[in-house]
Amino acid sequence: MRADARRNRELIVTTAADLFVERGPEVSMEEIARAAGVGVGTLYRHFPDRRALVEAISVDALQRLLDYGRAVSEQDVSGWEALRLIVRRCTELPLALATSVTGGSALPGRAELPGLVQAVNAELEWAAARAQREGTLRRDIPAREVIALISVAVCRPGARIDDPLVRVVFDGLRATGA
Amino acid sequence: MRADARRNRELIVTTAADLFVERGPEVSMEEIARAAGVGVGTLYRHFPDRRALVEAISVDALQRLLDYGRAVSEQDVSGWEALRLIVRRCTELPLALATSVTGGSALPGRAELPGLVQAVNAELEWAAARAQREGTLRRDIPAREVIALISVAVCRPGARIDDPLVRVVFDGLRATGA
Amino acid sequence: MRADARRNRELIVTTAADLFVERGPEVSMEEIARAAGVGVGTLYRHFPDRRALVEAISVDALQRLLDYGRAVSEQDVSGWEALRLIVRRCTELPLALATSVTGGSALPGRAELPGLVQAVNAELEWAAARAQREGTLRRDIPAREVIALISVAVCRPGARIDDPLVRVVFDGLRATGA
Amino acid sequence: MRADARRNRELIVTTAADLFVERGPEVSMEEIARAAGVGVGTLYRHFPDRRALVEAISVDALQRLLDYGRAVSEQDVSGWEALRLIVRRCTELPLALATSVTGGSALPGRAELPGLVQAVNAELEWAAARAQREGTLRRDIPAREVIALISVAVCRPGARIDDPLVRVVFDGLRATGA
DNA sequence: TATGAATGAGTGTTCATTCAT
DNA sequence: GATGAATGAACACTCATTCAT
């Protein structure tokens, strides 16, 4: 892939992600192309249809989340803190587009997706397990379910790390002794 | 209003609500009409445009919720239990259509809406206040905010009373001593 | 025909005529009915379709014009003055609805129409002939054509007796010696 | 603008103008597109809505009229003759669509319109003024009003240079001495 | 007989997608 | 490879007309 083509592709993905966040999921392909400064034709050369574009945005977002999650894991932070950091990152990324990221059932098109979701979940589960060992995260909920829970709380459009909802979820997950 | 017209109106509202829940917010007016067994014209006679239909569904749902909430309040149940009952009812009603029940800012068309939202909130706040007095609901969060929180947790499409999310929110709201 | 039915009929015709003049030819049947204070059903009982209503308005207008023309003819006014009076009356009646009143070709539905048009034309032609004899109307244009001419000038929507157009037409028709 | 796009645009404008003249102002967009041999989408790409199309037709017609008027002015013809030539051209162009050429008040959408109307009026006024100086056009009517008058006579659907109406208007405008 | 609710074909318009330039 | 013009199916909405109450 030529350098300029790759640059166009990235440009389209990030522009589209921004537009979707700002203006809802009904933005037209024409408008996305215009905002990215390319013609529709170019957009369609990179993404055969609208679905493919949404998938690409999701893959991109998950990839960034995974990179971040791994970076966090390599640092010396507690499991609980790691959980918080990753969750904050979630609220900055357009994860809500692909309806249920954790389920992964929504977008069967791209082969990477399940793998990515798996990898992100693994990262989260590892943090959760650590937090449970550290005694800061409730032990009566399986780590797997904790992740599902956090996903629902955080993968809504407009979710924020300091939302009352997110705050209370974290409170609800806090081990009572902590 | 003639009896058959009223019957049609109700039929349309409930059919549309079901369709919106089952198939998302993009169902076409034509399809709604067909599902209700009427012509598009009839649909448009009752609701001048799509917005008006969504509003009617919301008003209807809120009205049912309010009726239920009042019935609950008249029975001899604890504040905490009242909260749970009302929340369960929420998950059975198409409240998510009107974006945010508490804000009520979304649908300025119908005059009843703000009043209904107010009334429902009053009912919820009363239950919450009772629960706080009973020592089952955290006292460090204002009742008003508790309501907002519950609304977010429960007014999502597909929310269920036994969702992990809802469960954890309730856990997070439980007074630590209880 | 019952008295109230007749009253309804007249009410509908005049109301519709006014509405057509005020708001253009696209007013809906529903709106006409509402303005007349009856249901659409009643409107359709009197006039089987929209065309029939327009025809009725035209017939009504022509009838009034004819009545007026005959009244004028029975008075002691010059041919030229009679022409002016009848023309003024034209501008007060909704004649423009039926596109070309003189031609009569437009509305083949009602049997009265050609006869009425004929009668009105006869009245006008008689006035024109007198005016030509009196030496006030150009003799080099056949009376028949004079009438056609006046019709065009005066059967436009919004025509007025003191329009520049109407004024100049009369000037152009004035015998040069007069 | 690409060559084929420009060709399509012109094709649409002229086809639509013809259709409007032949079949009245209610022709459907679908039909216009079909007659022009393009899809509706193409029509709407060029003209965002029906109004815009009518405006474009008017602008086009006025532009042609202006070109013709200027060409006439540059030739050695009398003011009266210039008036007649321009008026004949009017009857060949779809000017009646834009309700009143002189007022120009009708179509505020396109910026060119008032300017074009102005320019055409200027051309006509200049011819009228010359005709008044030449003694062929009545001097007791201001040139401005003469133009308004001619406009009404000639901007009717179906107006023709040899209409009795137009003929008589010209007769009415002729200086009595001429 | 009067009413107004119901009907559904038809209109303007949008937008994902294709394809000539 | 990039562009944006062309396409047409699909949608929201209107309104003349019919028919149950």
- In DSSP notation, D143-158 reads HHHHHHHHHHHHSSTT
Q: Report the alpha-carbon distance of residue B127 to residue D72 in Å, rounded.
A: 87
Partners of A137 in beta bridges: A174
Burial of C65-90, coded b for 16+ CB within 10 Å and e otherwise, reads bbebbeebbeeeeebbbbbbbbbebb
Q: Report the alpha-carbon distance of residue B165 to residue B157 in Å, rounded.
A: 13
Q: Report the alpha-carbon distance of residue D62 to residue A33 in Å, rounded.
A: 37
> Considering only CA atoms, which residue is closest to the C1' of nucleotide F3?
A39
B148, B156, B171 member nearest A172 (Cβ): B171
- Displacement of CA B129 from its chain's centroid (Å): 20
pLDDT for residue D166: 85
Residues of A in contact with B164 (CB under 8 A): 141, 145, 148-149, 152
pLDDT for residue C105: 39
Q: Tell me whether chains D and B touch (3+ CB pairs under 8 A).
A: no
Topology adopted by domain A1-48: Arc Repressor Mutant, subunit A (1.10.10)
Residues of B in contact with A163 (CB under 8 A): 152
What is the CA B4 to C1' F20 distance in angstroms?
10
pLDDT for residue B130: 95
CB–CB of D95/D150 below 8 Å?
no
What is the CA A38 to C1' F10 distance in angstroms?
27
* Better pLDDT: A47 or A1: A47
How close does chain C come to D8, measured CA to CA in Å? Answer: 31
Which residues lie closer than 8 Å to D57 by C-beta, 6 or more apart?
Answer: D13, D16, D17, D20, D94, D97
Token pair of A47 as six digits: 């993404």
Residues of A in contact with B177 (CB under 8 A): none
- Check whether A173 has a pLDDT greater than 90: no
Q: Where are the strands (E) in B86-140, listed by range?
A: none
Residues of A in contact with B102 (CB under 8 A): none
Q: Report the alpha-carbon distance of residue C60 to residue C63 in Å, rounded.
A: 5
Residue with tokens 């493919």: A52
Topology adopted by domain A58-173: Tetracycline Repressor; domain 2 (1.10.357)
Residues of A in contact with B153 (CB under 8 A): 165
Q: Report the alpha-carbon distance of residue B145 to residue B125 in Å, rounded.
A: 9
CB-CB under 8 Å, B152 with A163 = yes
What is the CA D92 to C1' F2 distance in angstroms?
44
Question: Which among D157, D143, D111 has a CA at the least distance from the CA of D19?
Answer: D157
* Chain D nearest-CA residue for C163: D149
Helices (H), C24-134: 29-36, 40-46, 50-73, 79-92, 112-134
Q: Report the alpha-carbon distance of residue B147 to residue A110 in Å, rounded.
A: 40
Q: What percent of chain A has pLDDT over 70?
A: 91
Question: Which among C23, C1, C15 has a CA at the least distance from the CA of C60?
Answer: C15
A153, A168, A173 member nearest B173 (Cβ): A168
**How do the pLDDT tens digits run along chain C, 178 residues long?**
678 888 999 999 999 999 988 887 889 999 999 999 999 999 999 999 998 998 899 889 989 999 999 999 999 999 999 999 999 999 889 887 764 333 333 455 667 777 888 899 999 999 999 999 999 998 988 888 888 888 878 877 778 888 877 887 888 888 876 5
C173 touches chain D (CB under 8 A): yes
One-letter identity of residue B178: A
Token pair of C43 as six digits: 């409107």
- Displacement of CA D112 from its chain's centroid (Å): 14
User: Hey, where are the domains in chain B?
Assistant: 1-48, 58-173
Which residues lie closer than 8 Å to B50 by C-beta, 6 or more apart?
Answer: B29
pLDDT for residue A95: 84
Token pair of A177 as six digits: 């002794």
Three-class SS state of B103: coil
Q: What are phi and psi of A5, to 5 degrees?
A: -60, -45
Instruction: Calculate the alpha carbon distances from A53 to A113, B22, C71 in Å.
Output: 13, 25, 80
Chain C, chain D: beta-carbon pairs less than 8 Å apart: 43
CB-CB under 8 Å, B168 with A169 = yes
- Check whether B117 has a pLDDT greater than 60: yes
Question: Which among B49, B51, B62 has a CA at the least distance from the CA of B25?
Answer: B51
How close does chain D come to C2, measured CA to CA in Å? Answer: 39
CB-CB under 8 Å, A145 with B164 = yes
Give me the residues of chain D with pLDDT under 70, please.
98-110, 177-178
pLDDT for residue D107: 52
Burial of B103-117, coded b for 16+ CB within 10 Å and e otherwise, reads ebeebeebeebeebb
- Check whether A1 has a pLDDT greater than 80: no
Q: Tell me whether chains B and C touch (3+ CB pairs under 8 A).
A: no
> Considering only CA atoms, which residue is closest to the C1' of nucleotide F10?
B28
- Check whether A12 has a pLDDT greater than 80: yes
Q: Report the alpha-carbon distance of residue D80 to residue D70 in Å, rounded.
A: 15
- Check whether A13 has a pLDDT greater than 90: yes
CB-CB under 8 Å, D171 with C172 = yes
Q: What is the CA radius of gyration of chain D?
A: 18
Instruction: Calculate the alpha carbon distances from C83 to A165, C122, C173 in Å.
Output: 84, 12, 11
Three-class SS state of D174: strand
Question: What is the mean predicted confidence (pLDDT) over B114-119?
Answer: 87
Across chain D, mean pLDDT equals 85
> Considering only CA atoms, which residue is closest to the C1' of nucleotide E11?
D28
Q: Report the alpha-carbon distance of residue B151 to residue B121 in Å, rounded.
A: 10
* Chain D nearest-CA residue for C148: D164
Phi-psi region of B24 (alpha: psi -120 to 50; beta: other; left: phi over 0): left
CB-CB under 8 Å, B169 with A168 = yes
B172 touches chain A (CB under 8 A): yes
Task: Give residue-wise pLDDT tens across range A108-165.
Answer: 566 777 888 889 999 999 999 999 999 999 898 888 888 888 887 887 777 888 887 7
CB-CB under 8 Å, C176 with D172 = no
Q: Report the alpha-carbon distance of residue A127 to residue D9 in Å, rounded.
A: 62
pLDDT for residue B104: 38
CB–CB of A58/A97 below 8 Å?
yes
Q: What are phi and psi of D174, to 5 degrees?
A: -65, 135
pLDDT for residue B101: 30
* Chain C nearest-CA residue for D162: C149
One-letter identity of residue B55: E
CA torsion angle for B115, B121, B122, B123 (degrees, to 10)?
A: 120
pLDDT for residue B133: 95
B152, B156, B172 member nearest A172 (Cβ): B172
Task: Give residue-wise pLDDT tens across range B30-79.
Answer: 999 999 999 999 999 999 999 899 889 989 999 999 999 999 999 999 99
pLDDT for residue A25: 80
Token pair of B165 as six digits: 């999310």
What is the CA B54 to C1' E15 distance in angstroms?
24
Q: What are phi and psi of B174, to 5 degrees?
A: -65, 130
Positive/negative CA dihedral, B95, B99, B100, B106 = negative
> Considering only CA atoms, which residue is closest to the C1' of nucleotide E8?
B39
Three-class SS state of B174: strand
Q: Report the alpha-carbon distance of residue C23 to residue C30 in Å, rounded.
A: 14
Question: What is the mean predicted confidence (pLDDT) over B3-16?
Answer: 94
Q: Report the alpha-carbon distance of residue C147 to residue C121 in Å, rounded.
A: 7
H-run or E-run covering A138: none
pLDDT for residue A108: 56
Q: Report the alpha-carbon distance of residue D169 to residue D153 in Å, rounded.
A: 7
Question: Which among B178, B176, B173, B177 has a CA at the least distance from the CA of B87?
Answer: B173
> Considering only CA atoms, which residue is closest to the C1' of nucleotide E6?
B42
Task: Give residue-wise pLDDT tens across range A83-117.
Answer: 999 999 998 898 877 643 333 344 556 677 788 88
- Displacement of CA A165 from its chain's centroid (Å): 18
Q: What are phi and psi of C174, to 5 degrees?
A: -65, 135
One-letter identity of residue D19: L
pLDDT band for B151, please (50, 70, 90 cuts): confident
Q: Report the alpha-carbon distance of residue C62 to residue C75 in Å, rounded.
A: 20
Instruction: Count each helix (H run) and each strand (E run) in chain C, helices first.
Output: 8, 0
Q: Report the alpha-carbon distance of residue C166 to residue C172 in Å, rounded.
A: 10
Q: Do domains B1-48 and B58-173 have the same CATH topology?
A: no
Question: What is the mean predicted confidence (pLDDT) over B91-102?
Answer: 66
